[in-house]
Structure 1
Amino acid sequence: MNRFFKRHQKTIIWVLVIGFVASIVVAGGLRLLSSPPPGSAAETVLTVDGRKTSRQDFSLTYASVIDYYKQLYAMYGLDFESFLQGVEGAYRRLPYVAQAAEEIVRMVILDQAARELRVTIAKAEIDRAVEAQYQALLAQYGLTEKQLEEILRFQGMTLDAYKKDLAKGQETQLREERVRQLAVGPVEPTDAELAAYFEANRDRYQTEPEKIRAGHILVREARLADELLARVNEPGADFGALARTYSIDETTKATGGETDWFTLSESPFSEKVTDAVWMSDPGQVKLVDDDAGFHIVKLLERQAAAVPPLAEIRDRVRADYVRDEESKRWSQWYAARRERVVVKATDPVIAAAMAYESDRAKALAELSAARAGGTSDDPYLLYYIGRLHEELLTAAAAKRIELEAKEQRTPDEEAELTRLRAEEATHKDQALAAYLAFIDTGTGDEAFFQRVLALAPQSAEARYALAEMYRQAGNWTQAESEYRLAIEARPSFVAAYIGRGDVLMALELYSPAADAYRQALDLQPGNTALSLKLAAAYVRGNRLDSAQPLIQEVLAREPNNVTALTLSGDLLLAQGDTAGAIARYDAAYRRGLGAEALLKLAGAHLTAGQVAEAKRRHEDAIRAFPYRPEGHLGLGDVHAKLGEFDKALASYRQALSRAVPVSLKEIIARKIVDLDPADIRTRYLLAGYFREQYKYDGAIPQYEAILALSPGTLEALVGLGDCYLAKVQYDRAVDYYRQALAVATSPQQKVSIYTQMVKAEEGRAGAANALGPSGLEFLWQRAQLYVELGQNDEALADLRRIQTADPQFRAGEVTSLLDRITLLQGR
């Protein structure tokens, strides 16, 4: 991926530039349709002093804003788009919606001012600006005009059309600059104004920053720190001797606790200690504690910042003054114009976004009115409402806490406290109501559910919805836990009992599944579907005597119930009555023509030794349900029974290609490797299925078998390392990773292996502790590989982590590589 971006870097940059300019031009060129329907692209969503903006125009302006931030974040190796993903990402978009609206307002204000001030831009001036920009861009990215034409052709644009777009952009920019010049007017500072500006901004003109030297004693025990503080403050105390005797700071102990000169940004201490010593007077001693221990710090000397006299830098100061004054006047002019402009957002989400920064309550009112009137089809409307209620809840809570902290309160303050508590309760209830309504839209994600549960941990609805989400994703264990919590919150929650029973069945925990179904049935007696679920759990759990009356009861009421007939077949088969099972499965299939009954019928024939009939029925299942794996799996079993192993393998492989549940894939893959032990590909698949189910002891023999068949195979060595890493056997994991490194051939492979080795050392060290020497060595090796791959940001992160953990570790080499990366980035 990285090499692709390097190879096509110029093209990508130009595509972004072209796309951004084109979106602005298109946004300015669209026209509204008459009387457009609500929600359509041409619907008016924003009006500024009578000038209408359509939904499509607004969307294009918004897209331009987002594109700008994408490019800005990308410069720092960050993915802005991921910031906007998910339910919370939708809420994070609101400030950018407001920014797009304000950009439209700004363009209207500038157009109005240009007309009032009779600003015109000569064509010759526009042409010169376009040519200058055009040549600068070609030079910046090292492109010829012919190369640019090829890029534009790829984008479906001609060079002439692109230059026309540039001309429109330059005309807009020049017009804004001219309006700004006229609005601001000339700036001619007096000597007194320059002198005052210089004094107010002396820090800006420092040639040497302020520096200090400090004395430092670091100890672990609070009592010792108090004793030393008292001794240091005694007349004639020898700070240096105390530091050499008691301090555990190896960097200053030998010098009697004295540091070298350092600036605020170069402080060797934590922020807390730095702030304390920096604000001290010379000779003052303070005791400060942080994560490292207890620090006794004494300010020894302070060296003032060096600032040249005004006369030496007058031109620079004047230029800064003019720039700042122009900016201030422009801001004042624009603020006055913005205040006079009449802005009406007819889209409630845009209106709420524009109000959000200054007035959360107004934003909430806009959205609540939209909900009540059905005037917004935004799928996240309910979530926005809930989030705004939460923010207002937080604001009220902050005020309430502040009032509660007062020892004495006036009657008015007591009344305000009562009001705030009621406001908190209202916002909490309203937020939860909005969130619960949002759950019904089916667009919630895990982060959303965690937010709801943080607000209301006992919400049965939220627990149940989160469980359903986990169940649909196949996360059975997490789903079971959430179903159980939903039941604890509401013991009469029938759907939660059923859901819990279903996931316990999937986990093959039949006894607790039966308990869950029984509790649901107790709440809804006579429910046929629940009776059959309970019977199925009893049959799977070999509690046949418990299953039989339930099945008989259903069949007595509904003799043609396919599920009951199928379960009856399961029961008879478990009791050893193969003929009876075949009859029941056949009856179920004749009535429902379903895959399950047919497949069980075929399986029963095979169990009865009726191989020909079993084969016929499995072939029927394949024809009727070609995308189901069970028919191919059963046919494979038939072939295996007949000793036709090649045909059995072919059928099993067909079954594996169609299987979805990982537990079924495991069963099929086991059959394949049993028949074909040399099938390395399937062994890899089987190992993966085991790992997906956290069955690492099942995966390990598969990787070992692969190594026996093909010694030194990279993927198998890494797989073994990963399994032992998951089993928290770090030494064995690292040993396999080292073997993998010995056979790895590419930097990418080695980066992946070192990443796993770092994880092993992180696990060994513990979450709260820094990496040891082995872990730092793995980081160092990975950083070098990142540089080789051109992934400089990743390399920097590793090198800085090394320096933070142990500044002495390969200090010269780490510093040298950091300097090299800085040079590369500077280019």
Structure 2
Amino acid sequence: MAKGFRRHQKIVIWLIVFAFFVGGVGLFSLNRAGFFNRSTSTSSGPTYAAIVNGDKISIDALNAAADQTLNRYKAYYQQMGLDIGNVLTGAGGQLFRLRIQAEALNELIRQVLYRQEARARGITVSKTDVEAEAAAQYENFLRTYNISEQQLSDYLRQAGTTLAEFKDSIRTEVETQLLTARVQTVVAGPIDPSEDDLEAYFEAHISSYDQPEKIRASHILVDDEKTAEEVLSELKDGADFAGLAKAYSKDTATKDNGGDLGWFSRGKMVREFEDAAFGLKNIGDISDIVKTSYGYHIIKLTGREPAHTPTFDEVKDQVRDDYIQEKKNEKVANWYNALYSGSDIEIELPLLRAYLYEQDDLDRGLAEFERIRATGESADPYIPYYIGRIYEVKAAYAADELRELRAKEDPTDEEKARIAELQQEKEGYQGKALAAYLDALENVDADENFLGRVLSLNPENLAATVLLGKLKADQGDYVTAENHFAEAIKNDPTYVPAYLASGDLAVRQGNYPLAESRYEAALEQRPNDTSIMFKLVNVYIAMNELGEVSELVAKIRKASPDNVKGIIAEGDLAYAQLTAAVDELNGLKGKDSPTGDEEARLSELQSTVDTLYQRAVDRYEEGLRRGGTLDLNVKLGNVHLLAGHLDEAEDQFRNVILRSPYRVEAYMGLGEVYLKRGDTEAALENFRTGFTHSVENAQREEFGERILELDPQ
């Protein structure tokens, strides 16, 4: 528990175990599994991720290593209380996944090179050493996370593995660790610094040896405030703190030691505990009750060391260790870089090859990504996005140099020329980044961060503004969405996609007057665009402006006689006219004593209803024959329902439900069929099913209203 309330230690144990277990599979287990194989002249195709001096790294090995790397990131994000899902979404998420793969492949290449070096130098690791170190790491793991072996076994079983497999993974990882350490020791050779070397190192790094203020404290941790008050009362009456800690504290790691937490500096404990502990003035002082996420604490200050800078003699041993480690790291890094550069390494996966090139040389990586895009070697639709990101980085470098030169009070002529050159470079890179992003947006789903990048490069970019509005609409933020559409229209009153997006959103909200004005404005820009005409037809029908519908449908049919949408539009017009005729017919039928004129109108209307019904059915059936969607089946069902042909209506609605159970309009239609037959229970069943399947709020409200009408309880 003592470690449990240290900062960032609130961890989901099973995730830590899983990340450790999966992440612990090192080179040697992969090698034993057959993931690393000697290359042969008969192999071809993308079977391998890389070939390192003849040793092949399989794609299976890379995928496993990438999963391991991602699990480590997940564990880290979990510790920080963050959601890694936010990092993995959208275009940025695709680039992050590529980064994960690159990290994993680099680690696998490193393992292969170390293994090859160990083999060349005859370096081995004994089984005894592996077993001893593995046992020590296992015990440390249990202590660190304050869990028993049985608890660990339970966690592992939940993760689908066993304690034995977990221990094997530790041995495998330890074997890799020990072999790596021995190779590094041999490569670095002996390092024996002189006294002068150490003193010079100390002076150069003196700030790193500064000691912050530290305190030593003990605590008693209990579950509830009432118990904490009782303990505090006993302490005030003179009771022994250590005795009460042993009797009451639920911190099993410290209770038997009087609650002693040892020495710690700021930043090691959760904030509430830290503030209270460092706020105690004198040795022996006891705090009031301190509430944290772990429970209720009472803290006793038992020691304090002020911040200070030690002398060389005080930290000489530490300085020696640091000096030796730093020199060893330098030698190993130089050796590895030379080894890597001199090795024959072939990256078989094109995107990974381009990404790894980019890490060393932006221009080389850019050229490789551009080559892949040109040749179609990869089908990844985010390639233009990766290219755009590189251009953005190049623009940022140019901007940094530009800022430094502009900060000079009296630049030289050469520097002035460079300023003009850099300004041109920066604008050129930004333009290329924008072009690449817009290219990507034609093939991938837009996300807010991606669109934000586009708008940062060109705040008035109409396409990105409209796409961002659509994204906000999908998130339910209709006000912000319409603001983006209106902004695009203001910036360019001829930009049709903005009118259409605004009109579509207005339809979604049931604001048909706004939709009408937006679609009509779009049609002014594209007078012969039948797709806009179809949108207007639906709006006119919703507003019962049947005269406008008739004119527009005639225009559509004249412009495109064979267009199936025009045929369907005629059906929509006939259905709207049928609805009006049926409403008038039912109104006249409801009169007790109709006049002669009304009797004549009744006869005329019945004939009109029959004609319109047949026309709508004919048009919709023709649309279905020519490849229409299930929307037409729903419309056809509604026509039959309106005309009282209940069996035909039921057939259409059931056909829709059979083929697509989540088409909620069919449940509404089928419910209405049952209502007309007097079967309220069957109607309610369909309305309730439609309600549970609905996604749009308007649909749920409609179903909810029908349910409440039939079953107010």
The separation in 2 between residues aligned to 1:155 and 1:665, in whole angstroms, is 39
Q: CA deviation at 1:667?
A: 1.9
2:506 to 489, 504, 507: 504
Q: In structure 1, what is the equivalent of residue 20 of structure 2?
A: 17
d(CA) in 2 for partners of 1:375, 1:641? 61
Query: Corresponding residue for 2:245?
Result: none
Decide whether aligned partners of structure 1 residues 653 and 423 sit closer, same or farther in structure 2, where only a CA change above 3 A counts: same
1:30 aligns with 2:35: yes
Q: 1:451 matched to which residue of 2?
A: 453
CA distance in 2, matches of 1:631, 1:332: 70
CA distance in 2, matches of 1:384, 1:636: 51
1:487 is displaced (CA, Å) by: 4.5
- The residue type paired with residue 113 of structure 1 is E
Quick one: which of 595, 606, 611 aligns to 2:633?
A: 595
- The correspondence for 2:65, drawn from 61, 65, 86, is 61
Q: Which letter maps to 2:442?
A: D
**Deviation at 1:552?**
4.4
Q: Is the 8 A contact 1:393 1:424 kept in 2?
A: yes
8 Å contact from structure 2 (residues 391, 429) kept in 1: yes
Equivalent position to 1:567, from 569, 573, 583: 573
Cα displacement (A) at 1:384: 0.7
In structure 2, the partner of 1:586 is 614
Deviations 1:204-251 (A, max 9, x none): 5556779xxxxxxxxxxxxxxxxxxxxxxxxxxxxxxxxxxxxxxxxx
Task: State the match for 1:703 in structure 2.
Answer: none
Q: Which amino acid aligns with 1:414?
A: K
Structure 2 unaligned blocks of 5 or more:
215-264, 268-305, 586-604, 622-631
What displacement does 1:86 show? 2.4
Q: Closer, same or farther in 2 for the Cα pair 1:141/1:545, shift >3 Å?
A: closer
Q: Say if 1:502 and 1:158 are closer, same or farther in 2 by CA, change over 3 A.
A: closer
**Counterpart amino acid of 2:184?**
R
1:194-593 alignment runs, 5 A limit: 194-206=198-210, 306-307=308-309, 309-311=311-313, 314-406=316-408, 408-469=410-471, 478-488=480-490, 491-554=493-556, 561-571=567-577, 573-574=579-580, 579=605, 580-581=608-609, 583-593=611-621
Letter in 1 for 2:712: P
Q: Give CA-to-partner distance per residue, 1:47-92, whole Å, 9 cap, x none.
A: 4444443333333333333333333343333344543332112223
Report the alpha carbon displacement of residue 383 of structure 1 after superposing the two structures with TM: 0.7
- 1:118 paired with 2:122, answer yes
Equivalent residue number for residue 619 of structure 1: 650
The one-letter code sitting in structure 2 at the alignment partner of 1:17 is F
Residue 656 of structure 1 corresponds to 691
Contact 2:210 2:308 in 1 (8 A): yes
Report if aligned partners of 1:435, 1:452 keep a CA contact under 8 Å in 2. yes
What's the CA shift string for 1:458-486, capped at 9, x where partnerless?
Answer: 33333344455556667655554444444
Compared CA separation, residues 645 and 16, structure 1 to 2 (3 A): same
The residue type equivalent to 2:574 in the other structure is S
- Gap change, CA 1:385 and 1:127, over 3 Å in 2: same
8 Å Cα contact 2:575/2:612 also seen in 1: yes
Q: Partner of 1:179 in structure 2?
A: 183
Q: SS of the residue aligned with 1:120?
A: coil
AA partner of residue 30 (structure 1): F
Rounded to whole Å, the distance in 2 between the matches of 1:635 and 1:102 is: 60
Distance 1:676 1:199 in 2: 84
What is the CA–CA distance in structure 2 between the aligned matches of 1:189 and 1:429, rounded to whole Å? 54
| Inter-partner Cα distance in structure 2 for 1:64 and 1:635 | 51
Which whole-Å CA distance do the structure 1 matches of 2:158 and 2:667 have between them? 48
The one-letter amino acid of 1:361's match is D
Cα distance change of structure 1 residues 145 and 577 upon mapping to structure 2, 3 Å threshold: closer
Q: CA deviation at 1:438?
A: 0.7
CA distance in 2, matches of 1:537, 1:158: 63
Distance change >3 Å, CA 649–CA 173, structure 1 → 2: closer
* Residues in 1 aligned to 2:414 and 2:619: alpha-carbon distance in whole angstroms: 77
CA distance in 1, matches of 2:555, 2:210: 92
C-alpha displacement of 1:196: 3.5
3-state SS of paired residue (2:519): helix
Counterpart code for 1:21: G
The alignment status of 1:90 with 2:81, answered yes or no, reads no
> Is 2:709 the counterpart of 1:674?
yes
Q: Take 1:63 and 1:647, find their aligned partners in 2: how far apart are those partners?
A: 50
Q: Check the 8 A contact 2:382/2:444 in 1, yes or no.
A: no
**Aligned residue pairs, count:** 575
1:133 and 1:460 mapped to 2: Cα distance? Answer: 58
Alpha-carbon separation, structure 2, partners of 1:160 and 1:633: 57
Q: State whether residues 500 and 519 of structure 2, in contact with CA within 8 Å, keep that contact through their aligned partners in structure 1.
A: yes
- Give the CA deviation at 1:389: 0.8
- Structure 2 CA distance for aligned equivalents of residues 477 and 188 of structure 1: 70
Aligned residues of 1:586 and 1:597 also touching (Cα < 8 A): no
Specify which of 94, 110, 116 is matched with residue 106 of structure 1: 110
Secondary structure of 1:382's partner?
A: helix
Contact 1:633 1:668 in 2 (8 A): yes
Q: 1:496 to 1:322 in 2, by over 3 A?
A: closer
Instruction: Check conservation: 2:91, 2:447, Cα contact below 8 A.
Output: yes
Kindly state the Cα deviation for residue 520 of structure 1 after the two structures are TM-superposed.
3.4
Render the CA deviation track for 1:678-727: whole Å, top value 9, x for unaligned: 3xxxxxxxxxxxxxxxxxxxxxxxxxxxxxxxxxxxxxxxxxxxxxxxxx
| Cα distance, 1:567–1:501 mapped onto 2, change above 3 Å | farther
- Cα pair distance change 1:133/1:549, threshold 3 Å: closer
1:505, distance to aligned residue in structure 2 (A): 2.3
RMSD: 4.2
The equivalent of 2:173 in structure 1 is 169
Task: Compute the displacement of 1:452 (Å).
Answer: 1.1
Per the alignment, in what secondary structure is the counterpart of residue 460 of structure 2? coil
Give the Cα separation in 1 of the matches to 2:680 and 2:209: 86
CA distance in 2 between partners of 1:57 and 1:342 (Å): 19
SS in 1 for 2:24: helix
Secondary structure of the structure 2 residue equivalent to 1:625: helix
Letter in 1 for 2:22: G
Distance 2:163 2:197 in 1: 50
Q: Counterparts of 2:436 and 2:266 in 1: how far apart (Å)?
A: 48
**Paired residue for 1:228?**
none
2:112 is the alignment partner of 1:77: no
Q: Give the residue type in structure 2 aligned to 1:584.
A: L
Maintained 8 Å contact 1:70/1:80 = yes
Which amino acid is 1:426 matched to? Answer: G
1:189 to 1:407, Cα distance in 2 relative to 1, 3 A: closer
Q: TM-score, normalised by structure 2?
A: 0.69
Which whole-Å deviations, capped at 9, do the CAs of 1:648-703 have from their partners, x for residues lacking one?
Answer: 5445334434444321221221232234333xxxxxxxxxxxxxxxxxxxxxxxxx
**What letter corresponds to residue 178 of structure 2 in structure 1?**
L
Question: Are residues 151 and 523 of structure 1, via their aligned partners in 2, closer, same or farther at CA, if it must alter by over 3 Å?
Answer: closer
Q: Secondary structure at the match of 1:461?
A: helix
Check 1:186–1:395 CA distance in 2 against 1; reply closer, same or farther (3 A cut).
closer
Tell me the secondary structure at the aligned position of residue 691 of structure 2: helix
